[in-house]
Structure 1
Amino acid sequence: MITVNSRRNYSCRGRRDSFTFTKWGVVTLTVISPKPQPVLSVSPSWPNPGASVTLNCEGLELQSAGWRFFWYKTVPDLSKRNYRPSYTYELLPGSTNGTEQNSFIINGPTLTAGFVCRAGRGEPKFYTHYSEVKFVWSADSAAASLSVNPDRVQHFRSESVTLTCKGNSTEWRVMKSTERDHLSFCSNWGKMTGSTCTINMNWSPSGVFWCESGSGEFSNAVNITIHAPKPQPVLSVSPSWPNPGASVTLNCEGLELQSAGWRFFWYKTVPDTSKRNYRPSYTYELLPGSTNGTEQNSFIINGPTLTAGFVCRAGRGEPKFYTNYSEVKFVWSADSHPAASLSVSPDRVQHFVDQSVTMKCGENDTKWRLRRFTESTSPSHVRCSNWGTMHGSSCTIDRLEDHSGVYWCESESGKFSNSVNITVQDDYDDIILVSPVHPVTEGDPVTLSCRDKKQNLLSNVFFYHNDKLIQNDSREELKISAVSKSDEGFYKCQHSGKESPSSWMSVRVTLSSPVSSSRLLLIIGPISGIILIIFLLLLWRYRRPKDLCSFRSDKNNQRSTTNHRAEIEISDNNAPSEGDALYASVKPSEAAAPAEPKEITYTMIKFKKLRKKRKPRKPEERVVYAEVKPRAAELAPTYAVVNKSKAKKNRKGKPAATNEPVYSEIKSGATLNDESAL
C-alpha cells in the first residue's frame, strides 16, 4: 500500500519462459502530499505612481526541477456568498507559456489590484495550487472610488466611521487587509447597506480598505488606523495663583492627533457633594465663548478670578466625537467668595509637624468638603476624610506630616472658598515664621515674628523680604505700620543659624488706594471733558439771539431804588415772533457808586403777539413786560415796560422813514406794583 509522503524502491523483471528471466529493474517511487501551494510576495505594496512592482513566487521545494511560473491578476466575483471573498484569475500579458524565473515585473502605472501565481511542469502539465492573493494598493482611483467619513486616516475605537463606494456598478463589497495579511470583507466587522459600510470599531482592527465592484473593478485604497480607548487631554493653567484681576491661560494638550480637525471645549467645574465617591465629583459648565469650541488649544480667562476648577476636552467630526475630559486643574485665589470662606486656626501659614490645625468652612451652606492639593498627591484623591477628621464644617488635622499644600472648601451649593497655603516645618528643632495666612489690606498694620517649637518669641532675628535682609537688630518682631503693595512677597526669618521656610504675604489693594484712584481718574477725566464740551455747545446754541438788541441803562446811586434806562430799536420788520426770547445787556450808569461792582446784567424779554380786534388798540398800549434780574443778591427784581410802536405807513404802503430809537423806562418792582393802570 502506497501512503502519502512515502518513498520506496520498487524492482521488477521479465520472464520469457520458465527458465529465462530478464534483469531486475529498480524503480524509486516518491509519493508527496496534495498539490503544493507557492507563496506570492509583492514589492512594494504601496508603489509610487508610475513605479514598477515585482512579484515573487516562492516556497516550492522542487523549484529547479523544471517548473514554469504563471502570473495572474484577480477579478472580484461577488456572485459567490462565501465566508472568504471569491476571485477569478486572468493571466498577465507575457505569462501565457509561463516563465522560467520565479519573479515577474509589472511596469506602472499601477492601480489597486490583486495578484496570484502558480507553477506547472510536465506534459500533460501538472500545476500547483494558486497562491494566496496579494495586493498592490494605490491611492489613485479609476472606475471606482472609496470615500471615508470622517475623512482622515486615524480614528478612535468609539467613533463611527463609514466607507462609501462609488462608480458605475450597483453591487459592491468593502474589503480589508490587516498586517497579518488576513483578508475579509465588511459583513465580518461592520454593516453593509447598499454601497456604504459602517465599521464596528470594536471588532475592526487597523488595516487597508478598498472597494470591489460587481463588474470587477477595484477602487482606490485607504489606510485606516484604529486607536483603542478615547484619548484624554492634559490641561495646564498659568498662573495657578494669579494676581487680582490678572488673566489666566488654559492649555489643552497631549493629543497625538492635535492637528487633525480638533475643536477644544472649556469647562468650569461645579462641586457635587451628593456623591460619596472616593474621588470628589464635579459637574461641568461650558465657559462663555466655548459653546462651539475653539480652533486653538489655548483659552484665556480674564480676571478677576476666584478659586475655581477647570477641565477641557476636544471634539471633531459630525456627529461630534469627543475625547475624555481632562483631569481637573485649579486656579487658586486668596480672595473669598461672598458665599464661601475658609479660616485656619492657628491663623498663620507655617506650622510644626506635631501640631494640630483646624480649618473651618463657613458662610451660607451647611454641607462642606475640604480639599487640598500637595506636590506629591493628585488633587482628585484627597479630602479631609483621608487625612483628618471632619466635624460639621470643620476639619481637624492632628499631625501635619506631609501636609504642606493648598487648602480650600467646596460647598453643597457648588461654591469654592478662598484658598490658603499651609507650610509644615518637619524639623522639630527648627523655627517657623509667623505670618498672616490671609491677604493683608493695604494701609493696615502687620506684624511678623519668629518662633520655635515651644512657641517662644525669638529675639535678635534676621528678617528677609524676597531674600533681601530688611531687619537685623535686637527687635523680636518685624512691624509694618501701613502695609503697601511693595511689601508683598516672600518672607523668612533666621535665628542662631536656623532658618524658617519662606512664606508669601499677599497685599490686597482697596479701591480708595492711589493706584485705584489714578486708574479711575484716567477713565473719568476724558469722559468729563467730553461732557463739558457738549454742555457748552448746547448752552451757546440756546442763548444765541435771533435779533440784535442793545440796551443802555443808567443806574442811580441809591441801592434801594434803582432806575435803568434801556434803548431798544424795534420795528415791524425786525420784531421777534411770538414765543421768541430776546436777551439784552443792561449797563449801569456812570453815576453808580464806585464801590459797587460793574457787572453786566442780562434780561430775557418775551414778546406776545396780540390778537386782532375790531378796534385795534393804540400802539402805545401794546406793552411787554420783562424781568431784569440783577447779579447783586441784595437788589430787588426790576421790571421794564417796553412800548412797541408801529411805524406809520404812507398811502403807497411804504413805511415812513425814521431813525429815531424807542426808549423804555425801567422801574423797580415796588413802583410797578403801585401803578393801577397796569
Structure 2
Amino acid sequence: MQHNLLWMGFLFFNTFSCGHPEGKTSLAADRAVLPAGGSVTLTCTVDNPGHLDFHWYRHDFESSAGQMMNRTADKSLVLSKGGLYSCRGVRLGKGNVPSYTSYSNKVTVQETLSFSVTVTLDHDWARIYVGETVTIGCEIKGGEQINWTYEWKKNHTFEKPGSSSGHRIIKAKQSDSGDSCRGRRDRFSSTEWSDALSLTVSTNNPKANLTAGSTTIPVGGNVTLRCSVKPSAGWKYRWFRRTENTHEVQLTDKENRDINVTQGGIYRCHGTREKPSFYSRSSNEKNIKIMFSNQVFVTRQPNWPHIISGESITLTCEIQGGQTTEWTCDWMRNESIILRTDSKRWTFIVSESSSGDYKCRCRRRDDLFSSTRRSETITVVSSPVSSSFPVMLIVGPVSGIILIVLLLLLCLCRRSKDLCCFRLFQSESSSQSPATNPGENQIESHYSSLLHGTMSVYETIHNRGATGNERPRDSEDGSVYVNVRPDNYSSA
C-alpha cells in the first residue's frame, strides 16, 4: 500500500513539473476538402480542459515537426488554405510557467483550386475504333504558369499516380470512356476533377472505299482515284499498285485522299491515322484501264473493194496523235479478237474465210492497262479464185488478136470491092455514046448518086487526042486516078 502511494505521487509530480495538464487532445475538421473560395473549421478538444488556450500548427509531412501558425483562446479555427494541421492546449501555471497538453492528431485539409479543368482529345474524330491509339490531355484554364502534377481516374476509380505530363496515350477498348483528370499544385491543393470524357469506341474496323473518275483521257493525260474511309476525319491514305505480271508496290509519295495516275493497273488503298499507325481494312482492288480518247481508224493497202484469195493485204491501225508512242494492237474480226501484234500494221494472205468486219484497239507497250477505243469498222470482202481463170488468161489475148486480124481483112476487102465497082462503072459509061439520049437517064442516075455521096468515082484522065477506044493503060503507064466527090461539081 505504501509502495502504491509513492508511485502515484511520483506521477503527479512528474506531470506537473513537465507542464502537461491532464486530458487527451484531439483535432477534427468539419470537412476534409476545402472548396474553392470556401473555408474549413478546425476544432481542438481536450479532456478536462479547464482554462486553456490553443496553439495551432501546420506540418509539411506526417513526421515533420509543425510550425505554430496561430494561438487562440477559442478551440476552433477557421482556415481557407489546405494543409496538414495539429493543435494542443496550453495553461499558465504559477509564475506564468506554461504547461501543455499533448499534441493532437494531425488532420489533412485538401484545398480545391478554382481552375476549370477539361479532358481533351488531340483530334475531333467522331468515332474511335478498338485497338486505335489516341492521346487525351488535361487542360487547366488559367493555370498555365503552375507546375502541375496531373492525376487521372476512370469511372470514379483513381488509376495512376500523378505525372508531370498533361497528356495520356491510351489504346482504345470497347469500354473506354469515363476518363477524368485534375491538376495538383502541391500535396494539399488541387483542382476539381474534370467531367468524364465520353468516347464512342466501335468494334467494327472501317473499310476503305476506292473510286475512279472518268477513264477517258488523251495520251499523256491522267485519271483521278479517290480513297475514303467513313467517318472521314483524321485519315491519311496509302496507295498500292500492281499488274498481272508485277508485284504490288506502294506509291510512297502518295498520302492524299485523291491522286492522279497516268498508268493503268490494279490499285487498292487503305486509311491510316495516328502513330503508331492504325489501319483501316483495305479497299477492294480496282482494275483501272485508261481509255485514250484519240480517234482510231483502220486503213488498208491495197484499197480494193474485193480482194482475191491468195493476195496479200496490209491493215494499219491509225491513232490520231499517237505517232510517237509504241503500241501493241488487238485485231478483231466480227467483234472477236483474233490477233495481237506488236505494231500498228498487220499483213496477211487473204483466204475465203478472211471476209468480215475488222476493228482494232491498241495499248501502250509499257502499260497494258491503257488502251484506245475501238476503231470504226472496215469491211474486207474476199473473192474466191474461179476455175476458168487460167483459160481466160489464154483466151482473152488470143481473142483480141483474132479480132484485130478480122478488122484488117475487112478493111482490105472493102477497099478491093470499091475498086471493082469503079472499073464496072467506067466500062459501062465508055460503051455508050455521049450524044445518045437514052444514056442521059443513066448518067443522071449516077450523078444523083454522086450528089448524095453514096459512091466514089475514080475517073481515068487520057492524054489529049485520044479517041477513047484505046485499051486502058495500067497505072504504071502514067494513068492518074482522081477521086471525084460530089461536092467538087458545080453547074456549067
TM-score (norm 1): 0.25
Larger radius of gyration: 2
